[in-house]
Structure 1
Amino acid sequence: MLSKRHTPEQVITKIAEGDQMLNEGKTIAEVARSFGITETTWYRCKSTYGGMKANDAKRLKELEAENRRLKIMVADLTLDKAMLKELAEGNF
């Protein structure tokens, strides 16, 4: 089965719809089945995006991308530092 990635805005909308279905008396299994996901996926999305608004989710994704970029920069700088230190010691 081919998996489909949803945008954070779509996930937040589906969580709101699912919460409404739960308030109407449906079970978690029925809600998850109606969206074509597993209960585990429902709980994971709920814990990640529950209580967020669409613009909050967009900001979260932007921050995650920036954090990923900064981690790569730190790794590169650490490697450069290690190489320069090794050259300065003459162990090449």
Structure 2
Amino acid sequence: MKKRYTEEQIIKAIKQHEAGTKVPDICRELGISEGTFYNWRSKYAGMEVNEAKRMKDMEAENAKLKKLLAEKFLEMEAMKDVLSKKW
């Protein structure tokens, strides 16, 4: 079963590690693999909760903008195809 953890929980786990708790103990407590913990650490190390939330919001906005840009490019290509055909 896949669980979703909040930024608060992830940052709390990283801070526990920084305070001296061993990685296997944290992973056992949360029910995650060590690889997952190290992925979290590489992404969230040194962040506070509000910074992590802001980063997540910015990633969502970035994805939305990329989707809009892709749609505009498709629209432009369709218009070029229509205009380039000889009637």
The aligned residue for residue 43 of structure 1 is 38
The aligned residue for residue 12 of structure 2 is 13
Runs of 4+ deviating beyond 6 Å: none
Structure-1 separation of matches of 2:58 and 2:14:
22
Deviations 1:15-57 (A, max 9, x none): 112332xx2xx54223322221111001000000011000100
State the structure with bigger RCO (CA 8 A, min sep 6), 1 or 2: 1
Structure-1 separation of matches of 2:25 and 2:5:
20
- Percent identity over paired residues: 36
Worse-superposed segment, 52-61 or 27-36: 27-36
Whether the 8 Å contact between 2:11 and 2:48 is mirrored in structure 1 is yes
52 and 31 in structure 1: CA distance in 2 versus 1, 3 angstrom threshold: same
Alignment size in residue pairs: 86
What letter is aligned with 2:64?
R
**Which consecutive unaligned segments of at least 5 residues does structure 2 have?**
none
How is 1:16-31 mapped onto 2 (pairs within 5 angstroms)? Answer: 16-20=15-19, 23=20, 27-31=22-26
RMSD: 1.5
Q: Normalising to structure 1: TM-score of the pair?
A: 0.84
Q: Normalising to structure 2: TM-score of the pair?
A: 0.89
Instruction: Specify which of 42, 48, 53 is matched with residue 48 of structure 2.
Output: 53
**Which consecutive unaligned segments of at least 5 residues does structure 1 have?**
none
